[in-house]
Structures are given as structure tokens and as C-alpha cells.
Amino acid sequence: MQFYLLIFRYHGIDKHKWQGRVDVLVNNAGISQRCLAIDAKPEVYTELINIDLIAPIWLTQLQLSRMAEAGGGHIIGISSVAGRIGAPLRTAYSAAKFGLIGYMDALRTEVDRTHNIKVTNILPGSVATDVSRNALTGDGSKRGMSDAVIDAGDDPMDCARCIWEAVNADKPEYIYAKEMEMGLAQMRHGDPDTFFNAIADFGAQTVAAYWKEKEGA
């Protein structure tokens, strides 16, 4: 409900008196992770999954009946390429983003034809935001530094425009990624043997770099 509270405050509306319909619900809750599973406290998983998966599910559930009664609507789940490929240093994040895709895919089967509620999964790759700077480390603290790949990512406004085009086209899923990220996302199902070999090599390199960075900290 935090997102609705922000909207109500922004528009100067009393949330207790608001009775309007929701035409488009964008579930964009998200916090990322930059630590190995072996180096992470269990609480990191609880916090990430609560924010990245449970919160969007709750928010969606609270609006489903209202959307159905209004004759339809559109629900958007902002997942990630990491919700398709399982990326190193992001076990909790990938778990939540995989879960969000699963929830939205299953929900679509129930509400698309029956209630005219469209559901779109968005899988962004690298977008130039503070996502890696605010990512959680193994002890639950913020990382405090960004990644070069994120800093070189796409402009958030370009991403937002592409998301809106996908929603207007009623696409069930849209991958917003380029080059290696798009290739891996497509390879995950198109050529799984090659994918798993490639991601294993990448994972080993990432683990080695992680411990080297920790030792030098």
C-alpha cells in the first residue's frame, strides 16, 4: 500500500475517500542484491522477497475485484532479465523476479478472457538507475556503489516509453534488453545446453571477482 499512499499524497487526495477505478496498475517495487548466497544472511532473502514479490502480489490482489467490477484493466509486473536467467550475486533477487513472472503468468490465465484484465510482464536488462548502488549486501546493508554495466545502461525514460508501447500493444511479455543480456534471455529456452555452460563460466568468474573485491575492501 505504500505506493498508493505516495500517489494520494502527491495528488492531495484523501486515500480513505478515494473510490475511483484503477485502469493501469504498475508493480515496480524492487531492490536488488550483490552478494553470494553462501555469504548472505537469511534475512536478506526475507527482505528482498517481501519487497520484490510479496508486495506486488498484495497490491495486485487488493485491486483485482475492483478491476473486474469495472470491466477490465491492465496489470504490469516489472520483473527483470534476472527473472529469466538466474544471475550470480542475485539469488534472492532472481528468486523474487522469477516468482513474479510465475504469478503474473498464472493470473493472466484467470483474468484475461474472463474479466478483460490484461497482464504484461516486463523484463528489463541494464537501465541507468541506482539499482546496484542500493542493492543489499550479505549483511543486509546497502552496497553503496554502482556497476559499470548499470551506469552504461539505457536511459530510464527510453525504457518507460518501450514499456508503454508494450502495454498499448497488450503484449503478455516484453524483454527490454540488448546484446548479451537479450542473447542470454533468449538462449535460456532456445538453447539451454549452451546457456548453462556459458552462465556457469560467467558465474565462476563473478565468484572469483567477488572474493577478490571483498579481500581488498
Q: How far is CA 217 from CA 36, 211, 213, in A?
A: 16, 10, 6
The single residue listed with the C-alpha cell 503478455 is 172
CB 57 within 8 A of CB 99: no
**What H or E segment, with its residue span, contains residue 10?**
helix 2-11
Phi-psi region of 116 (alpha: psi -120 to 50; beta: other; left: phi over 0): left
Answer CATH for 21-183 from 3.40.50.720, 3.40.50.2300, 2.60.40.420, 3.40.1160.10: 3.40.50.720
Rounded-to-integer distance, Cα 125 and Cα 123, Å: 7
Q: Where are the domains of the chain?
A: 21-183
**What H or E segment, with its residue span, contains residue 73?**
strand 73-78
Rounded-to-integer distance, Cα 213 and Cα 99, Å: 30
pTM of the predicted protein model: 0.87
Positions annotated as catalytic residues are 93
Per-residue pLDDT of the chain (217 residues; tens, 9 = 90+): 233 333 433 344 455 555 678 899 999 988 999 999 999 999 999 999 999 999 999 999 999 999 999 999 999 999 999 999 999 999 999 999 999 999 999 999 999 999 999 999 999 999 999 999 999 999 999 999 998 989 998 999 999 999 999 999 999 999 999 999 999 999 999 999 999 999 999 999 999 999 998 887 6
